[in-house]
Chain A
Amino acid sequence: MSSSAYVQLVDLAKHFGKVKALDGLSLDIAEGELVALLGPSGCGKTTALRALAGLQELDRGSMIVDGKDVTFQNANKRGMGMVFQAYSLFPHMTARENVEYGLKLRAHKTTGDKRKARSAELLELVGLSTHANHYPYQLSGGQQQRVALARALAISPKVLLLDEPLSALDAKVRTQLREEIRRIQMELGTTTLFVTHDQEEALSIADRVGVMRNGQLEQIAAPAELYDRPSTAFVAEFVGLTNPIVGKVSGGSIEILGGVVKTLPGSITSGTGIALVRPESIDVVASASGNATVFSASFLGASCRLSITLSDGARVTAQLPSPDAVGLHAGARVNVSLLDLPVFVKAAG
């Protein structure tokens, strides 16, 4: 744990009845960084976020923001900006009034004119300056979340907390808005903690992604590293797709699909193990004397996903760039091999 971290969560614990929502979670976030917490429902990611916001009391642990211990500080004094999963705009206020609300509560620091200028600036930033006088019921879901984002940013928060803000939106709006969140976050340099169960969302916009399980952090790393070099079987299986393929492990390598590849740190070191192989790590080439048969092919646009039956009857999924998959239709004989990329291997059985 570095002492230079802007946000430090140290050994957070919280249980609800018998369920341990947080079980010794520690996490550092650097200033201006966007960290995403990813995990299945009930893994404790939202509890961690709410604890940092001050909306959730903890059993144990401490939280330090900008060198100050905020563990026992009230939520209304913490200066965190939060965007919620549910639509949370105040229904009796216009978009502008919503954005100005936090500033009004700091009336001694902001004059009316400054407030107006600030709300105009933020609505402009989220692309809704023409909707300033609209009430929430006159805005679509995506627009409401943009205003909520502007409202959270208006108070120049120490940390921006995003609690699955996109999950109620449809797919297209979700993609647009997540990119916008990233653009705004980088523009303003706001330290951000983003909670989501959508891995694509987390991997696409975060500087680092933390995968949580049972109230603990399994691994935290840059998106590419998390995907390519998972340190536990849970992370490998949770993030992206994997093919479980049985093979013999020895000397830091595993023998699978007729080839030998290196194993990642954390894998088992000897005996029979299950390699968790990414679909894009499998190379497929058409060959009349091939060792496998294409069972089915799905065209995904830029890439093509093939379900392949191996000679021993096992089935694996491979993903190729579409141009490489031409002619690989159901029933085609193919040769299957592995690209030389390290894989994570878990114990069999």
Chain B
Amino acid sequence: MKQSMGVRLWRWTIISVVALYLLVPLYAMFDFSTKPFGFADKGRTFRAWKMITEQPDLWPAISRSLITAAIVMALILFLIVPTAIWVHLKLPVLRRPFELLCLLPLAIPAIVIVVGIAPLYRWISINISESPITLAGVYSMLILPYTYRSLSAALDAVDIHTLAEAATTLGATITRVIFGIIMPTIKTGIVNGSFIAIALVLGEYTISNILNFKTFQVVIAQIGRTNGNVAVAVSLASLLFVIFLLLIIPTKKRQGTVLDVDVA
């Protein structure tokens, strides 16, 4: 059916407004990062972008933050997801308390969490490691509200009980049921939850700064204090990187139509 001109116009208007809302700040960042900031600069300059590579603290910070994100991701896959599945499958009584527990990091301000967790991290720094990678622990707690919601919604959308029972009668152990049947079934939920988590980890500033860890965001803030143009260039680059990550999420399109014909 052909859509009327009015509907199409309306649709494109909305899309344009949203696109402008999202793209104008990005363009403004690009504009600022290419503005002349030295006496020698004439017109547009990419000096700030070139200077990114010259920041000694930046690359180690990026790799540390990425490693932290990877550890958080692993914790999500091997701890949080199986726990959420277990609670949904075997301990439905605990669903409400578990949900409430997972929402707590959202209700408690980051600064309060830092104050509470600082003595623990002092101990960790002395006894285990001083690496910012240890932040993965507190981050995996911070991301709970987002990851759990996304997982819970995915788990509610499919009849995991029947799937689990079907796999069990076919001979699967509970580990196989969780990792081989239910996790692939709620893949989209896991991927969505993980990306929110990674975006959060890569963007977190308060906790790492107060605990004196040099993570990606902390270093950007430091650079920003000495050279605003470079800081904005780095921020834009990191945003583009995250957008790139989001675009390559392996979401399988459901193609083909339902064959609603029953053959005798």
Contact string against A for B residues 227-264, beta-carbon threshold 8 Å, 1 for contact and 0 otherwise: 00000000000000000000000000010111111111
B159 touches A140 (CB 8 A): no
Flag whether A299 is at the interface (Cβ < 8 A). Answer: no
Rounded to whole angstroms, the CA-CA distance of A64 and B174 in the bound complex is: 24
**Residues of chain A lying within 8 A (CB to CB) of residue B254:** 137
- Please provide the chain A residues from 20 to 53 with a CB less than 8 Å away from any CB of chain B in the complex: 53
Nearest-Cβ distance from residue A225 to partner chain B, whole angstroms: 30
**Residues of chain A lying within 8 A (CB to CB) of residue B176:** 105
Interfacial residues, chain B to chain A (CB-CB below 8 A): 158-159, 162-163, 165-173, 176, 181, 184-185, 187, 254, 256-264
Q: What are 23 inter-chain pairs, A to B, with CB distance below 8 A?
A: A53-B169, A75-B165, A76-B169, A76-B170, A76-B172, A79-B171, A84-B165, A87-B159, A90-B167, A92-B185, A101-B167, A106-B171, A127-B264, A128-B263, A138-B256, A138-B257, A139-B259, A140-B261, A143-B259, A143-B262, A148-B166, A151-B170, A173-B262
**Residues of chain B lying within 8 A (CB to CB) of residue A79:** 171
CB < 8 Å neighbour of B169 from A75, A91, A134: A75
- Please provide the chain A residues from 71 to 94 with a CB less than 8 Å away from any CB of chain B in the complex: 75-82, 84, 86-88, 90-92
Nearest-Cβ distance from residue B85 to partner chain A, whole angstroms: 15
CB < 8 Å neighbour of B170 from A86, A128, A137, A155: A155
A134 touches B259 (CB 8 A): yes
Knowing A105-B176, A106-B171, A151-B170 are in contact, say whether A88-B159 is a contact too (CB < 8 A): yes
Flag whether A61 is at the interface (Cβ < 8 A). Answer: no
Rounded to whole angstroms, the CA-CA distance of A128 and B263 in the bound complex is: 8
Closest to B177 in A: A76
List 15 extra interface pairs beyond A80-B169, A148-B166, CB under 8 A. Answer: A76-B168, A86-B159, A88-B159, A88-B166, A90-B163, A91-B185, A101-B172, A102-B171, A105-B172, A128-B263, A138-B258, A151-B166, A152-B170, A155-B171, A161-B169
Cross-chain pair count, CB within 8 angstroms: 92
Flag whether A2 is at the interface (Cβ < 8 A). Answer: no
Rounded to whole angstroms, the CA-CA distance of A96 and B166 in the bound complex is: 16
Closest to B159 in A: A86
Complex A-B, nearest 10 residue pairs according to Cβ-Cβ distance, in ascending order: A102-B170, A105-B171, A142-B262, A88-B166, A92-B184, A82-B169, A88-B162, A86-B162, A75-B168, A140-B260
Nearest-Cβ distance from residue A150 to partner chain B, whole angstroms: 12
B169, B171, B259, B263 pick with most chain A CB within 10 angstroms: B169
- Please provide the chain A residues from 213 to 235 with a CB less than 8 Å away from any CB of chain B in the complex: none
Closest to A55 in B: B165
Rounded to whole angstroms, the CA-CA distance of A140 and B258 in the bound complex is: 7
B159, B162, B166, B260 pick with most chain A CB within 10 angstroms: B166
**Residues of chain A lying within 8 A (CB to CB) of residue B173:** 76
A127 touches B263 (CB 8 A): yes
Flag whether A3 is at the interface (Cβ < 8 A). Answer: no
Rounded to whole angstroms, the CA-CA distance of A138 and B258 in the bound complex is: 4
**Residues of chain A lying within 8 A (CB to CB) of residue B166:** 82, 84, 88, 90, 148, 151
Flag whether A311 is at the interface (Cβ < 8 A). Answer: no
Nearest-Cβ distance from residue B259 to partner chain A, whole angstroms: 6
Rounded to whole angstroms, the CA-CA distance of A237 and B162 in the bound complex is: 33
Flag whether A176 is at the interface (Cβ < 8 A). Answer: yes
